[in-house]
Amino acid sequence: MHPNPAFRSDDRDLHEALIAEIGFGMVFLTTPDGPRVAHTPLLSTGDGAVQFHLARGNALTRHLDGAMALAVVNGPDGYVSPRWYADAAQVPTWNYVALELEGRVRRMDQDGLRALLEGLSARHEARIADGTPWTMDKMPEPQLRQMMGAIVGFEMEVLAWRPTFKLSQNKPADERTRVAAGLEAEGSPAIAELMRKLVP
Protein backbone atom coordinates (compact mmCIF):
# COMPACT_ATOMS: atom_id res chain seq x y z
CA MET A 1 0.00 0.00 0.00
CA HIS A 2 1.29 3.48 -0.86
CA PRO A 3 2.05 5.46 2.31
CA ASN A 4 0.28 8.63 1.11
CA PRO A 5 -3.25 8.59 2.63
CA ALA A 6 -4.53 10.59 -0.38
CA PHE A 7 -4.28 7.37 -2.41
CA ARG A 8 -6.39 5.21 -0.09
CA SER A 9 -10.05 4.36 -0.33
CA ASP A 10 -12.31 2.86 2.33
CA ASP A 11 -15.02 2.13 -0.23
CA ARG A 12 -15.54 -1.64 0.09
CA ASP A 13 -17.92 -1.64 -2.88
CA LEU A 14 -15.07 -0.24 -4.97
CA HIS A 15 -12.70 -2.95 -3.68
CA GLU A 16 -15.25 -5.66 -4.47
CA ALA A 17 -15.78 -4.19 -7.95
CA LEU A 18 -12.02 -4.32 -8.58
CA ILE A 19 -11.86 -8.00 -7.59
CA ALA A 20 -14.89 -8.78 -9.78
CA GLU A 21 -13.63 -6.80 -12.79
CA ILE A 22 -10.02 -8.05 -12.75
CA GLY A 23 -10.87 -11.54 -11.52
CA PHE A 24 -7.21 -12.58 -11.20
CA GLY A 25 -4.50 -12.02 -8.63
CA MET A 26 -1.46 -13.29 -6.82
CA VAL A 27 -1.24 -15.10 -3.49
CA PHE A 28 1.98 -14.71 -1.51
CA LEU A 29 3.27 -16.81 1.38
CA THR A 30 6.57 -17.35 3.14
CA THR A 31 7.12 -21.11 3.15
CA PRO A 32 9.88 -23.28 4.65
CA ASP A 33 11.34 -23.24 1.12
CA GLY A 34 11.35 -19.42 1.02
CA PRO A 35 8.88 -16.81 -0.26
CA ARG A 36 6.53 -18.07 -2.97
CA VAL A 37 3.77 -16.59 -5.13
CA ALA A 38 0.92 -18.24 -7.02
CA HIS A 39 -1.13 -16.63 -9.80
CA THR A 40 -4.80 -17.55 -9.66
CA PRO A 41 -8.37 -16.54 -10.46
CA LEU A 42 -10.08 -14.91 -7.47
CA LEU A 43 -13.74 -14.92 -6.52
CA SER A 44 -15.11 -12.75 -3.73
CA THR A 45 -17.82 -14.27 -1.56
CA GLY A 46 -19.18 -10.76 -0.90
CA ASP A 47 -18.99 -11.25 2.85
CA GLY A 48 -15.31 -10.63 3.55
CA ALA A 49 -13.63 -13.64 1.97
CA VAL A 50 -12.01 -14.48 -1.35
CA GLN A 51 -11.74 -17.94 -2.86
CA PHE A 52 -9.15 -19.36 -5.24
CA HIS A 53 -7.70 -22.63 -6.40
CA LEU A 54 -4.20 -23.89 -7.14
CA ALA A 55 -2.74 -26.90 -8.85
CA ARG A 56 -2.12 -29.68 -6.35
CA GLY A 57 1.59 -29.54 -7.23
CA ASN A 58 1.90 -25.74 -6.77
CA ALA A 59 4.69 -24.73 -4.35
CA LEU A 60 2.13 -23.02 -2.07
CA THR A 61 -0.58 -25.69 -1.96
CA ARG A 62 0.78 -27.79 0.88
CA HIS A 63 1.56 -24.73 3.06
CA LEU A 64 -1.58 -22.59 2.78
CA ASP A 65 -4.12 -24.35 5.01
CA GLY A 66 -4.25 -22.36 8.29
CA ALA A 67 -1.60 -19.85 7.19
CA MET A 68 -1.76 -16.06 7.06
CA ALA A 69 -1.26 -15.07 3.43
CA LEU A 70 -1.39 -12.02 1.21
CA ALA A 71 -3.43 -11.76 -1.99
CA VAL A 72 -2.89 -8.91 -4.45
CA VAL A 73 -5.14 -7.71 -7.26
CA ASN A 74 -3.50 -5.33 -9.73
CA GLY A 75 -5.73 -2.95 -11.65
CA PRO A 76 -4.88 -0.55 -14.47
CA ASP A 77 -1.62 1.40 -14.39
CA GLY A 78 0.36 3.85 -16.47
CA TYR A 79 3.57 5.89 -16.59
CA VAL A 80 3.12 9.60 -15.84
CA SER A 81 5.55 11.89 -17.69
CA PRO A 82 6.68 15.18 -16.08
CA ARG A 83 6.09 16.89 -19.44
CA TRP A 84 2.33 16.68 -18.81
CA TYR A 85 2.59 19.09 -15.87
CA ALA A 86 2.54 22.87 -16.23
CA ASP A 87 5.85 22.98 -14.36
CA ALA A 88 8.21 20.45 -15.92
CA ALA A 89 10.47 20.52 -12.84
CA GLN A 90 8.80 17.34 -11.62
CA VAL A 91 9.83 13.70 -11.57
CA PRO A 92 8.22 10.81 -13.44
CA THR A 93 5.83 8.63 -11.50
CA TRP A 94 3.36 5.82 -12.04
CA ASN A 95 -0.40 5.92 -11.50
CA TYR A 96 -1.89 2.58 -10.56
CA VAL A 97 -4.60 0.69 -8.75
CA ALA A 98 -3.81 -2.22 -6.44
CA LEU A 99 -5.58 -4.04 -3.64
CA GLU A 100 -3.77 -6.06 -0.99
CA LEU A 101 -5.82 -8.57 1.02
CA GLU A 102 -4.33 -10.18 4.10
CA GLY A 103 -6.00 -13.03 5.91
CA ARG A 104 -6.12 -16.57 7.16
CA VAL A 105 -6.53 -19.30 4.57
CA ARG A 106 -8.44 -22.56 4.92
CA ARG A 107 -8.57 -25.46 2.53
CA MET A 108 -11.99 -26.12 1.00
CA ASP A 109 -13.67 -29.50 0.67
CA GLN A 110 -14.67 -30.89 -2.73
CA ASP A 111 -18.17 -29.39 -2.53
CA GLY A 112 -16.69 -25.97 -1.83
CA LEU A 113 -14.21 -26.36 -4.68
CA ARG A 114 -17.00 -27.33 -7.07
CA ALA A 115 -19.08 -24.30 -6.03
CA LEU A 116 -16.03 -22.07 -6.56
CA LEU A 117 -15.43 -23.45 -10.05
CA GLU A 118 -19.10 -23.06 -10.95
CA GLY A 119 -19.05 -19.46 -9.68
CA LEU A 120 -15.89 -18.60 -11.59
CA SER A 121 -17.05 -20.09 -14.87
CA ALA A 122 -20.52 -18.52 -14.59
CA ARG A 123 -19.04 -15.07 -13.94
CA HIS A 124 -16.58 -15.17 -16.80
CA GLU A 125 -18.75 -17.04 -19.31
CA ALA A 126 -21.37 -14.28 -18.85
CA ARG A 127 -18.85 -11.79 -20.26
CA ILE A 128 -18.59 -13.57 -23.60
CA ALA A 129 -21.10 -12.09 -26.00
CA ASP A 130 -21.43 -14.86 -28.57
CA GLY A 131 -22.71 -18.37 -28.06
CA THR A 132 -24.15 -20.35 -25.19
CA PRO A 133 -22.27 -20.14 -21.87
CA TRP A 134 -20.21 -23.19 -20.95
CA THR A 135 -21.32 -24.92 -17.75
CA MET A 136 -19.73 -27.73 -15.78
CA ASP A 137 -22.57 -30.13 -16.59
CA LYS A 138 -21.21 -30.26 -20.16
CA MET A 139 -18.34 -32.40 -18.83
CA PRO A 140 -18.78 -36.10 -18.06
CA GLU A 141 -18.77 -36.53 -14.28
CA PRO A 142 -15.81 -38.99 -14.12
CA GLN A 143 -13.67 -36.65 -16.20
CA LEU A 144 -14.72 -33.64 -14.09
CA ARG A 145 -13.87 -35.48 -10.86
CA GLN A 146 -10.47 -36.41 -12.28
CA MET A 147 -9.71 -32.81 -13.25
CA MET A 148 -10.93 -31.51 -9.89
CA GLY A 149 -8.56 -33.99 -8.23
CA ALA A 150 -5.64 -32.09 -9.75
CA ILE A 151 -6.50 -28.81 -7.97
CA VAL A 152 -7.15 -27.63 -4.41
CA GLY A 153 -9.60 -24.91 -3.40
CA PHE A 154 -8.93 -22.32 -0.70
CA GLU A 155 -10.81 -19.54 1.02
CA MET A 156 -9.13 -16.54 2.61
CA GLU A 157 -10.95 -14.74 5.41
CA VAL A 158 -9.80 -11.19 4.71
CA LEU A 159 -8.69 -9.48 7.93
CA ALA A 160 -7.06 -6.44 6.31
CA TRP A 161 -7.98 -4.60 3.10
CA ARG A 162 -5.13 -2.35 1.89
CA PRO A 163 -6.07 -0.48 -1.28
CA THR A 164 -4.03 1.96 -3.34
CA PHE A 165 -5.79 4.11 -5.92
CA LYS A 166 -2.91 6.37 -7.03
CA LEU A 167 -4.69 8.66 -9.49
CA SER A 168 -2.83 11.99 -9.13
CA GLN A 169 -5.05 13.06 -6.20
CA ASN A 170 -2.07 15.07 -4.92
CA LYS A 171 -2.17 17.32 -8.00
CA PRO A 172 -4.56 20.17 -8.89
CA ALA A 173 -7.56 19.42 -11.11
CA ASP A 174 -6.02 20.98 -14.24
CA GLU A 175 -2.87 18.88 -13.83
CA ARG A 176 -4.96 15.72 -13.40
CA THR A 177 -6.85 16.56 -16.60
CA ARG A 178 -3.56 16.83 -18.52
CA VAL A 179 -2.18 13.63 -16.98
CA ALA A 180 -5.35 11.70 -17.84
CA ALA A 181 -5.20 12.98 -21.43
CA GLY A 182 -1.52 12.02 -21.65
CA LEU A 183 -2.13 8.54 -20.30
CA GLU A 184 -5.00 8.00 -22.71
CA ALA A 185 -2.98 9.21 -25.69
CA GLU A 186 -0.09 6.92 -24.77
CA GLY A 187 -2.22 3.77 -24.58
CA SER A 188 -3.41 3.64 -20.96
CA PRO A 189 -7.11 4.53 -21.28
CA ALA A 190 -8.27 2.43 -18.30
CA ILE A 191 -6.22 4.32 -15.71
CA ALA A 192 -7.16 7.64 -17.37
CA GLU A 193 -10.85 6.71 -17.10
CA LEU A 194 -10.47 5.87 -13.42
CA MET A 195 -8.80 9.23 -12.82
CA ARG A 196 -11.80 10.96 -14.36
CA LYS A 197 -14.41 8.86 -12.58
CA LEU A 198 -12.96 8.44 -9.10
CA VAL A 199 -11.22 11.74 -8.37
CA PRO A 200 -13.52 14.77 -7.84
pLDDT digits (tens, 9 = 90+) for 128-179: 989 999 999 999 999 999 999 999 999 999 999 999 999 999 999 999 999 9
Query: Quick check: 137 and 122 in contact, CB under 8 A?
Result: no
Cα(158)–Cα(171) distance, rounded to whole angstroms? 32
Residues in the chain: 200
Cα(11)–Cα(95) distance, rounded to whole angstroms? 19
Task: Tell me what pLDDT residue 15 has.
Answer: 96
Say whether pTM exceeds 0.85.
yes
Could you tell me what percent of the chain has a pLDDT over 90?
96
On average, the pLDDT of the chain sits at 95
Q: Does residue 147 sit in helix, strand or coil?
A: helix
Instruction: For 76-91, write each residue's pLDDT tens digit.
Output: 999 999 999 998 889 9
Q: What is the dihedral of CA 81, 92, 7, 51, to 10 degrees?
A: 90
Span between the terminal Cα atoms of the chain, in Å: 22
CATH of domain 5-198: 2.30.110.10
Mean pLDDT of 107-117: 97
Instruction: For 37-69, write each residue's pLDDT tens digit.
Output: 999 999 999 999 999 999 999 999 999 999 999
Domain spans of the chain, in order of start? 5-198
